[in-house]
Amino acid sequence: MRTLHPFLRVLCVASLGLAGLTTTTAARADDETELAELLSENVVSGASRTHEIASDAPATTSTITAKDIRRYGIRSIAEAINFLGMGLVTQNPLHSVEVAGRGVLLTADFGNHVLLVVDGHVFNEPWDGTAYLEQGAAIPMEIIDHIELVLGPGSVLYGGNAMFGVVNVVTKRPASYSGVHVVGEFGASPQHGKGGTFTSFAPGDLGRSYRLATGVGHELTLFGKPAQITAQLELYQQDGPSFEWGPQPATTDTGAPKNFGKRTPLGTWGGRSQRQYATTVPALYTRLAWGDFTVAARVASYNRSTPYVNGFNQFRGDFDEPQNRERDRWISVDVQHRGRLGSRLTTLVRAYADTYDYRQDLIVSEPTDCSVTSAGQCLQSALGRSRWVGTELQANYDWRGDERLTTMVGVDGRVREVGGQTDVRDSATRILLGTLGQRDVRQFVWAAYAQQRYSPFSILHLNGGVRLDTDPRAGNRVSPRAAMALDAWRGGVLKTIYSEAFRAPTFYELYYEDSGQLPASGLRSEVVRGVEATVEQKIGQHRFLMGGFRTSWRNMVYLGAADNGLIQYQNAASIENYGYNARADGGFGDFTYGLSVTGAHSRRKTPDGTEALPAAPQFYGNARVAYDLPGSWPTVALATSFVGRRPADRINDGGFAVPPYAPAEVELRLTLSDRVPGFRDLSYRLATSYVTASRSPYVAGPTQYVDPAAPGPSPVAELAPVNRLTTFLTLQYDFSP
Amino acid sequence: MRSGRRTWLGLMLSGATLLVAGTARADASVPHQLQAQLVGKLASFDRNFQTRAAGTARILVVRKAGDAESARVADNLARALVALRQVGGMPTQVDVEAFPGAPGLAERCRAGKIAIVFFSTGLEGEMAAAGAALAGADILTVGTTASDASRGAVVAFDLEEGRAKIVVNLARARAQNVSFKAELLKLSRIVG
């Protein structure tokens, strides 16, 4: 019998060995891929107020992690939304940001169409429904574990304001924030000139921001029970950069030159603003978990000045006047207890209390702009205040004990006291000249909700819910939702969702009045109905999503003409909107990527006709890549946020001969982050942000409206500038146990 | 009804609920199905699992006797493990039993050639003793909440940044002859 040549024998053995190794290697690679896929599965709690895999949730969600917040140089919830989220986008008018959802933006709403929830506590306050998403949210970013963006009408479990959706913030527990942490951050921007040019990089001309923070995370035993505490105290301060404005000529109704204070010539608004663009936010957030109790508290203040007269919050006021400023203050406490009755019934009892006040001071040198007759310069102060205390009871019953058929029912009741007024004082003597629109109301508001979740098969997840809200301001509202998620094939999920949401008119919309505006006590709630369908595919760590949506908005509150030439909030508008969302994200080893895009078509119908939504971007999204360089090299991350061309806020009612549009805009942020070499517990984050556009979609200055009958050439709308270049450095020292 | 009375009624209802409600213990925030899938995968990263299992992945889910919640969680975990069909590349055999005490558990694992013990909720106070009794045994122990890894389980699960996180107690792993590959440890939080 012939035998194999020794060389061939070795070759055969080697081939078999290689085949085995390859198979084993491939199998191991498969295991790693599948493990990584499981560990990249998002678990969300905001959509159904139950922890579940995102693909099973009755909403389209996107999750922004603490790691990505740090890696991409994110400094606020608004930036997280713009650079890392899907479906929502914010715009910065050099004031608190305005938020848009799926192509719908309602200017001057101060965030009252999106619900901000932090650790289960709703942050929207009842005076004007405001939720801030920039640094004014007063939630230290280092303490955030993750942010869930729950898109679409979401009143079914949360009540009013959740019309664009819910921004659900979950803070860290000590396991991921252990020890004491000290943070210092410094940022700078150059002086800006006309047309978005950079006119000076001299140190004395730079705009600056500072942030100092100290945080703690600790596990302990308290009165014999395990306890966990996380807390962060911080101070954020920003001053500038300075911008150049106008000049815009302005006269009174009698043709006399208007007085905008001592920093601009009489009859002219404009020049370089150097004193009226600043922000200060001291904030403390803490969360204590003790046994079955969780206590969260926030104490914060948001002080800011906006450098220009505009059409959304500052209709009058002197130019570059540092006393023109706003201030919000909050104290919030939330106590939750999770209990169990038997093996199938869980309970949540929550008690909460908040106090809030708002103040806007405006120095007005033009007596005809003072709401009360004034001989000279007046100080006009808009004041708002609210306090509310409430309790929520929730029960969740697992009928079969396997979490596939569960019923949640809940009731939420609160007492709120809301008030407001406008005081006009002599600015020199501070003598009160008059008070307008003073009103204080105490109201009881309650709601009841129910949600049924059913998975008849492991691949099918059904969710139906309804909520009844009673609100003395606008009557009762019922908000339903029905959703289905089908695991149609391996890694593939099909979802369809129908949902509704509402927003009751705010105290401000109902009762505010001044010399030019009437109160509107007959307002009804705004309502949105939405339907959407999505397809999601997971391949290893890579996820892809594509979906379409359609929404219909009714009873939209709209500042329209009333009697005698005055204005008044009215339910006079409706919006029709449809579009698509798409998203892709994933990673290859140390390289991660993500991108999202939203395209929409939105039209508003008012008594004046059908029109585009002012300032609402119809095409926007983001893209990002990051790479953990090997060894002692840093992580490099590049994030971009883009917004398409969009009409300015006065496009429909400004009467400008050339309709004002803001150009398309791309913001690029490059971030380097790592441990400081040689310092184990000291880390840094160095970032630069550059914006391609020079103008935002907000008309600036007293020329907000053009009289078509006025002689002479029609003025061009001046659009507010954009801070185009910022560089900042963050250092964090971690005293770990 | 006046708002003041409504407030008091709400507070009384809340208080009544607090009085009758038992403890919820820490919710297993990572969904049970995902925990089971993770156990199914991480067994493949234990160098000694193939030898330990010897052809069949025998999994014992232990619950606290007389604790309805513990029994419910145990049943959910068992159901999810059975649905996997394979753990670490081997067919599964899943049993649910009441915790028989630390010595009893060690004997049960030895006699039954158990490869994985999955502790349901309610056994937080027993885990340290169970871990001591299993020292030297060739077995992977898993807890449902993050702190179980510090209490005595080799592996537990936490929810971090909205995603599941594997928590590994390396000292306990060494004591129980569990040798995880670096690829797994890189993705995990290490305690102990």
Contact B14 A351 (CB under 8 A): yes
A120 neighbourhood in chain B, CB within 8 Å: none
- Residue A146 at interface with chain B, using a CB cutoff of 8 Å: yes
Average pLDDT over residues A75-103: 97
Cα A474 from Cα A160, distance rounded (Å): 11
Angle (deg, nearest 10), helices B32-42 and A6-39? 160
**A 368-407 → B contacts, CB under 8 A:** 389-391, 393, 398, 401-403
Residue B14: what pLDDT?
Answer: 66
How many angstroms away from the CA of B2 is the closest CA of chain A? 8
The residue of chain A with its CA nearest to that of B35 is: A38
Which of A40, A341, A393 shows the shortest C-beta gap to B22? Answer: A341
For an interface test with B, the pick among A176, A442, A470 (most B C-beta atoms closer than 10 Å) comes out as A176
- Residue A178 at interface with chain B, using a CB cutoff of 8 Å: no
Average pLDDT over residues A424-436: 93
How many angstroms away from the CA of A447 is the closest CA of chain B? 12
Contact B163 A41 (CB under 8 A): yes
Q: What is the token pair recorded at A124? A: 């929207």
B42 neighbourhood in chain A, CB within 8 Å: 35
For residues A370 and A728, which has the higher predicted lDDT (pLDDT)? A728
Residue B166 lies in a domain: yes
Residue B11 lies in a domain: no
B41 neighbourhood in chain A, CB within 8 Å: 31, 34-35, 38
Cα A701 from Cα A703, distance rounded (Å): 5
A346 neighbourhood in chain B, CB within 8 Å: 24
For residues B174 and A21, which has the higher predicted lDDT (pLDDT)? B174
pLDDT per residue as tens digits for the range A521-564:
889 999 999 999 999 999 988 999 999 999 999 999 988 888 78
Q: b/e per residue, A420-450, with b = 16+ CB within 10 A?
A: bbbbbbbbeeeeebeebbeeeeebbbbbebe
- To the nearest whole percent, how much of chain A has pLDDT over 70? 96
Contact A340 B71 (CB under 8 A): no
Cα A569 from Cα A463, distance rounded (Å): 37
Average pLDDT over residues A68-73: 98
B162 neighbourhood in chain A, CB within 8 Å: 42-44, 63, 65, 145-146, 148, 170
Domain range holding B119? 26-191
Contact B83 A398 (CB under 8 A): no
Contact A41 B187 (CB under 8 A): no
How many angstroms away from the CA of B166 is the closest CA of chain A? 8
Cα A526 from Cα A113, distance rounded (Å): 10
How many angstroms away from the CA of B172 is the closest CA of chain A? 19
Which of A35, A292, A391 shows the shortest C-beta gap to B11? Answer: A391
Contact B24 A340 (CB under 8 A): yes
CATH architecture of A41-735: Beta Barrel (2.40)
List CB contacts of A153: < 8 A, sequence separation 6 or more.
A162, A163, A165, A479, A481, A499, A500, A501, A528, A529, A530, A551
Q: Above 60 in pLDDT, residue A25?
A: no
Average pLDDT over residues A230-237: 98
Strand positions, DSSP E, B40-147: 57-63, 86-87, 90-98, 116-119, 140-143
- The whole-number mean pLDDT for each consecutive block of 10 residues of chain B, a chain of 192 residues, reads 60 62 55 92 91 92 93 92 89 95 95 95 91 92 92 94 95 94 92 84
Question: Cβ(A466)–Cβ(A479) under 8 Å?
Answer: yes
Strands B57-63 vs B116-119: parallel, antiparallel or unpaired = parallel
How many angstroms away from the CA of A117 is the closest CA of chain B? 15
B22 neighbourhood in chain A, CB within 8 Å: 339-341
**A 423-442 → B contacts, CB under 8 A:** 442
- To the nearest whole percent, how much of chain A has pLDDT over 90? 82
How many angstroms away from the CA of A630 is the closest CA of chain B? 15
> For residue A1, what pLDDT band results from cuts at 50, 70 and 90?
very low
How many angstroms away from the CA of B44 is the closest CA of chain A? 7
Q: Above 90 in pLDDT, residue A12?
A: no
Residue B51, φ and ψ in degrees, nearest 5:
-65, -40
Residue whose pair of structure tokens reads 């993750």 in the numeric block = A146
Q: Above 50 in pLDDT, residue A67?
A: yes
A458 neighbourhood in chain B, CB within 8 Å: 83
List the Cα angle A639/A640/A645 in 5-degree steps. 170
How many angstroms away from the CA of B111 is the closest CA of chain A? 30
How many angstroms away from the CA of A236 is the closest CA of chain B? 25
Strands B116-119 vs B90-98: parallel, antiparallel or unpaired = unpaired
Which of B24, B146, B158 shows the shortest C-beta gap to A292? Answer: B24
How many angstroms away from the CA of B139 is the closest CA of chain A? 21
Residue B152 lies in a domain: yes
Considering its fold, how many domains does chain B have in total? 1
The residue of chain A with its CA nearest to that of B4 is: A415
> For residue A594, what pLDDT band results from cuts at 50, 70 and 90?
very high
Q: Above 90 in pLDDT, residue A737?
A: no
Q: Above 60 in pLDDT, residue A22?
A: no
In Å, what is the CA distance from B170 to each residue of B36, B60, B142, B178? 21, 21, 13, 9
- Residue A40 at interface with chain B, using a CB cutoff of 8 Å: yes
Question: Cβ(A313)–Cβ(A108) under 8 Å?
Answer: yes
Residue whose pair of structure tokens reads 């910065």 in the numeric block = A92
Which of A41, A291, A343 shows the shortest C-beta gap to B71? Answer: A343
Q: What is the token pair recorded at A208? A: 């600056």
pLDDT per residue as tens digits for the range B16-36:
666 555 554 434 479 999 999
Q: What is the number of CB-based contacts under 8 A between chain A and chain B?
A: 147
A292 neighbourhood in chain B, CB within 8 Å: 23-25
Residue B154 lies in a domain: yes
Contact B164 A43 (CB under 8 A): yes
Average pLDDT over residues A609-622: 96
pLDDT per residue as tens digits for the range A546-556:
999 999 999 99
Residue B7 lies in a domain: no
- Residue A38 at interface with chain B, using a CB cutoff of 8 Å: yes
- Residue A197 at interface with chain B, using a CB cutoff of 8 Å: no
Residue whose pair of structure tokens reads 């004082």 in the numeric block = A425
Give the count of beta carbons closer than 10 Å to the beta carbon of residue A565. 7
- Residue A609 at interface with chain B, using a CB cutoff of 8 Å: no
Residue A564: what pLDDT?
Answer: 81
The residue of chain A with its CA nearest to that of B184 is: A32
Contact B29 A43 (CB under 8 A): yes
- What ipTM was assigned to the predicted interfaces of this complex? 0.89
Q: Above 60 in pLDDT, residue A45?
A: yes
Average pLDDT over residues A314-337: 95
Judge residue A195's burial from the number of C-beta atoms within 10 Å of its C-beta, 0-12 exposed, 13-18 middle, 19 or more buried. Answer: exposed
Alpha carbon A474 to its chain's center: 26
Residue whose pair of structure tokens reads 């798409």 in the numeric block = A582
Judge residue A678's burial from the number of C-beta atoms within 10 Å of its C-beta, 0-12 exposed, 13-18 middle, 19 or more buried. Answer: exposed
Question: Cβ(B81)–Cβ(B40) under 8 Å?
Answer: yes
B21 neighbourhood in chain A, CB within 8 Å: 337, 339-341, 347, 349
Contact A391 B79 (CB under 8 A): no
The residue of chain A with its CA nearest to that of B88 is: A31
Question: Cβ(A163)–Cβ(A526) under 8 Å?
Answer: yes
Strands A619-628 vs A591-606: parallel, antiparallel or unpaired = antiparallel
Residue B13 lies in a domain: no
pLDDT per residue as tens digits for the range A674-712:
999 999 999 999 999 999 999 999 999 999 989 878 777
Contact B41 A413 (CB under 8 A): no
Contact B160 A175 (CB under 8 A): yes
pLDDT per residue as tens digits for the range A633-660:
999 999 999 999 999 999 998 889 899 9
Cα A234 from Cα A213, distance rounded (Å): 4
Cα A38 from Cα A540, distance rounded (Å): 8
For residues A652 and A482, which has the higher predicted lDDT (pLDDT)? A482
Domain ranges of chain A: 41-735
Q: Above 50 in pLDDT, residue A95?
A: yes
- The domain spanning residue B186 has which CATH number? 3.40.50.2300
Cα A475 from Cα A338, distance rounded (Å): 32
Which of A40, A291, A341 shows the shortest C-beta gap to B163? Answer: A40
Which of A43, A349, A403 shows the shortest C-beta gap to B163? Answer: A43
Mean pLDDT of chain A: 93
Residue B21 lies in a domain: no
A67 neighbourhood in chain B, CB within 8 Å: 161
Which of A53, A341, A346 shows the shortest C-beta gap to B31? Answer: A53
